[in-house]
Structure 1
Amino acid sequence: MAFWWKKTPKTASDYARLLSEQLNKLDHVSTIDNRRKIQDDCSRYLAGTKHFLLGDVDPEPTAEALDELYSAIYQLDLLYDLLTNLHDLEFEARKDVALIFATCLRHSRDNKFVTVDYMVTRPKIVSLILRTPELALSKNNASDLFLKAGFIILECLKYEQLCRLMLRDPQIWLFFDFAKGGSFEISTESFQILSSMFSVHQKPVATEFFGQHANLQKFIDKVNMLLAHGNYVTKRQSIKLLHSLIMIRAYNNLLTSYINSPDNLKLIMILLSDRSKNLQMGSFNIFKVFVANPRKSRPVLDIMVKNRDKLLHYLKSFNTDSKDATFLDEREYVIQEIESLPRLVSPNSDSTLEVSPQRLH
């Protein structure tokens, strides 16, 4: 691998040192030609570091040599510098940065993830990882930068310690905005991050995040914003995210709060009558949870009673061509539950419902 290097590294730590030196030069470069030269050097040194970490060198590095390299990476704060300069690196080099991060995170010794423990003591790295997607949107090649940063976030979320740190960072709320306002690639990546953030490590999410009322309500507001104002893809992904989370047993606080709100029910009823069959089905999967709740709040029960006949008319003709036995059983159950609701005596008593009656037919 010596051909990658203008200087042949004499020790394992030289890989990190030479790369760190080039990264630091990017902050002080004065001409385009000099910048390109430094970018080329960074690309070569990143490739060399990647191959060394992966053991793809001859001779294969020893465990002691790898430990030496990892120690140098930590001492030089190289992970932070790589993130800081990510936008200045070439396309292939950014791919190498993402791979180096993933490889470092997997590094273990004595049954401990060494890099994870190191990052816990350097919360500025975790904070910068979460800020990098937002910073990427102001740069050229925004989508590529965003996806590389997203990949690093997803790798971090595999480890509970790092997930806990991220859950405390207010930057996570911006991913709801990215999901709504970004390109298809950025929106999809944002939903993947949100899904991993709230589903991979359920215990800290349940106790440390959804256990706080302010977080719980803000999460519901953010999801509802996507459901009400997003495009088709955003709405479909939002419904999928919401349904998957309220079905997690540990998130009973989220489930209870969501299905006891009349405003949430109205929103789901509107989506239930959307022209898209996919949105109809996704909304039905949430609507049936409202119906199945044995302890409905009075406002939710009032809405169902006021719209009893409209809902029955709609549901009896809903997705009648389906061959899915599970869906057919669930639809029949929902119909039976709504039929069991009391009828209103006054013929005009449903006029107070804010959901447009036409949307339910």
Structure 2
Amino acid sequence: MSFSFFKILRPKTPPEVAKSIKDSLMALDTKTVVEALEEVEKNFVTMRCMLSGDGESEPNVDQVSQLVEEVCKGDIIALIIHKLPVLGWEARKDLIHCWSILLKQKVDSKYCCVEYIEQHPELLDFLVVCFNCNHAADASGDVGIAMLALHSYDNKEIALNCGIMLRECIKFPALAKYLLESPSFELFFKFVELPNFDVASDAFSTFKDLLTKHGKLVSEFLADHYSEFFDLYEKILTSTNYVTRRQSLKILSEFLLEAPNSPIMKRYIQEVRHLKVMMTLLKFIQNAHLTHTTMSLAFEIIVLFMLSRHPMYVFVANPNKPRDVKFILTKNREKLLELLHNLSPGKGSEDEQFEEEKEFIIQEIERVSANHSLSCSLERIIIDDPPDVLSNPIATELRIDVT
């Protein structure tokens, strides 16, 4: 008599798990969607248990390494990314959990999955700009950016998943370098202004990581693409969206004041057009009719403007100010000093460094004003109430008279 039904199922080996994952992902093109997605979900659960343990036992290191190697050898990384938009919520959740482990796992002292993506960089572009759920299944492994009509960040269902996966990739310099230099990088200047708050915030997080994770790499990128980058950045600094302005200011402060970006910062503060943008934003805060909630956020922006974590401080503290910068500071002396004298670190808080830096800025503005000749023939920039604060930040918020 056979008692085969009492047999304990033998756990799958790493090659078997990898093959099952690949077969189930490829079956998404042939089977009914429901049946195929169920298979994918089961296989992703198995992969998750093998990579991170089942809660009762720790993962087997040799099995983890073998599975990672098989995932790369079988081109499963490419399949996972291309099929991401059509996966169900549970499958995507398990995939996101596994993604970081796959990237960080070394095989023979090499990051196997990272090297695979380096050899197939179009996968990074696919995470940034990919087809929506209805078209993702038709995507091939060599999708060009020009062919990608719909953006992953426009798809609310998968945008956050793509963001997490991209940020894990950005931790590795080679992948971050590719993203910075890829045409798809410019799309982040649009994604941060998307109407969905969660999606825009996630795009900002990815954008921030790209500009702050690898200082030397970013410095080289900015040196090579200075004009193009800051032309695009000025657009989000002067966006009609308050949150976009606020977040872009914070990120600008962070990466400009990184030590490797010192040459970039010095070049930035030598250009009067950037100071004009800062003055425009200061005036917006001063003139806008803000609600109580917005006012508290506006205070943070003012602090960022005037203290050491913001470029405005750098403009004022720069010992080698260009003549144009001195002129602007002088012409706006009264408005700036009024704003500074009324500035405090916040309700119920005391900050000695805040007061010291504020006093330094006040003294520096007064010194520049006293020494600078007002007879120079330059642009006259005055902070006045604009007719429409949001209509055109550069043209209407600043009254520019050329003498």
Whichever residue aligns with residue 233 of structure 1, its letter is: V
Distance 1:119 1:346, change over 3 A: closer
Distance 1:346 1:340, change over 3 A: closer
Question: In the alignment, which residue of structure 1 is the partner of 2:390?
Answer: none
- What do the CA deviations read for 1:74-109 (whole angstroms, capped 9, x no partner)? 122111111111111110111112122211011013
Question: In the alignment, which residue of structure 2 is the partner of 1:280?
Answer: 302
- What do the CA deviations read for 1:169-203 (whole angstroms, capped 9, x no partner)? 12112112111124111111111111111111111
Task: Give, in whole Å, the separation in 2 of the partners of 1:336 and 1:136.
Answer: 50
**Does structure 2 conserve the Cα–Cα contact (< 8 Å) formed by 1:179 and 1:191?**
yes
The 10-residue stretch of structure 1 (320-329 or 245-254) with the greater mean CA deviation from structure 2: 320-329
1:105 corresponds, among 103, 108, 115, to 103
1:335 corresponds, among 341, 353, 362, to 362
Kindly indicate whether residue 271 of structure 2 is the aligned counterpart of residue 246 of structure 1. Answer: no
2:238 corresponds, among 218, 228, 241, to 228
Structure 2: state its 5+ residue gaps: 1-8, 132-149, 287-297, 387-396, 398-403
- What do the CA deviations read for 1:254-309 (whole angstroms, capped 9, x no partner)? 21232122221121112223052222222223211100011112222221122223
Question: In the alignment, which residue of structure 2 is the partner of 1:195?
Answer: 208
Question: In the alignment, which residue of structure 2 is the partner of 1:17?
Answer: 19
**Does structure 2 conserve the Cα–Cα contact (< 8 Å) formed by 1:259 and 1:290?**
yes
Alignment identity in percent? 27
Kindly indicate whether residue 197 of structure 2 is the aligned counterpart of residue 184 of structure 1. Answer: yes
Please give the TM-score of this superposition, normalised by the length of structure 1: 0.85
Distance 1:36 1:350, change over 3 A: farther
How do 1:121-140 and structure 2 match up within 5 A? 121-132=119-130, 135-137=151-153
Question: In the alignment, which residue of structure 2 is the partner of 1:297?
Answer: 322
Whichever residue aligns with residue 303 of structure 2, its letter is: M
Question: In the alignment, which residue of structure 2 is the partner of 1:4?
Answer: none
- What do the CA deviations read for 1:200-236 (whole angstroms, capped 9, x no partner)? 11112112x0220xx2222222222112114222111
**Does structure 1 conserve the Cα–Cα contact (< 8 Å) formed by 2:69 and 2:107?**
no
Task: Give, in whole Å, the separation in 2 of the partners of 1:24 and 1:70.
Answer: 19
Task: Give, in whole Å, the separation in 2 of the partners of 1:168 and 1:336.
Answer: 42
Question: Secondary structure of 2:101's match?
Answer: helix
- What do the CA deviations read for 1:137-189 (whole angstroms, capped 9, x no partner)? 45xxx334111110011111111222222222121121121111241111111
**Does structure 2 conserve the Cα–Cα contact (< 8 Å) formed by 1:269 and 1:283?**
no
Distance 1:226 1:61, change over 3 A: closer
Task: Give, in whole Å, the separation in 1 of the partners of 2:181 and 2:91.
Answer: 30
Whichever residue aligns with residue 27 of structure 1, its letter is: D
Task: Give, in whole Å, the separation in 1 of the partners of 2:385 and 2:344.
Answer: 18
Task: Give, in whole Å, the separation in 1 of the partners of 2:15 and 2:25.
Answer: 16
Distance 1:50 1:301, change over 3 A: same
Kindly indicate whether residue 172 of structure 2 is the aligned counterpart of residue 159 of structure 1. Answer: yes
- What do the CA deviations read for 1:37-70 (whole angstroms, capped 9, x no partner)? 1111111111111111223388866444333322
Distance 1:88 1:338, change over 3 A: same
**Does structure 1 conserve the Cα–Cα contact (< 8 Å) formed by 2:335 and 2:383?**
no
Distance 1:113 1:293, change over 3 A: same
**Does structure 2 conserve the Cα–Cα contact (< 8 Å) formed by 1:307 and 1:350?**
no
TM-aligned CA deviation for residue 354 of structure 1: 4.3
**Does structure 1 conserve the Cα–Cα contact (< 8 Å) formed by 2:84 and 2:92?**
yes
**Does structure 2 conserve the Cα–Cα contact (< 8 Å) formed by 1:220 and 1:258?**
no
Question: In the alignment, which residue of structure 2 is the partner of 1:41?
Answer: 39
Task: Give, in whole Å, the separation in 2 of the partners of 1:151 and 1:339.
Answer: 48
Task: Give, in whole Å, the separation in 1 of the partners of 2:339 and 2:101.
Answer: 53
2:380 corresponds, among 343, 349, 353, to 353
Whichever residue aligns with residue 69 of structure 2, its letter is: S
**Does structure 1 conserve the Cα–Cα contact (< 8 Å) formed by 2:326 and 2:369?**
no
Question: In the alignment, which residue of structure 2 is the partner of 1:90?
Answer: 88
1:270 corresponds, among 280, 302, 325, to 280
Distance 1:309 1:350, change over 3 A: farther
Task: Give, in whole Å, the separation in 1 of the partners of 2:111 and 2:127.
Answer: 18
Question: In the alignment, which residue of structure 2 is the partner of 1:323?
Answer: 350
Distance 1:297 1:59, change over 3 A: closer
Task: Give, in whole Å, the separation in 2 of the partners of 1:350 and 1:283.
Answer: 27
How do 1:198-209 and structure 2 match up within 5 A? 198-207=211-220, 209=221
Task: Give, in whole Å, the separation in 2 of the partners of 1:283 and 1:342.
Answer: 19
Task: Give, in whole Å, the separation in 2 of the partners of 1:42 and 1:356.
Answer: 60
Q: How many correspondences in the alignment?
A: 343
Question: In the alignment, which residue of structure 2 is the partner of 1:171?
Answer: 184
Task: Give, in whole Å, the separation in 1 of the partners of 2:102 and 2:335.
Answer: 58
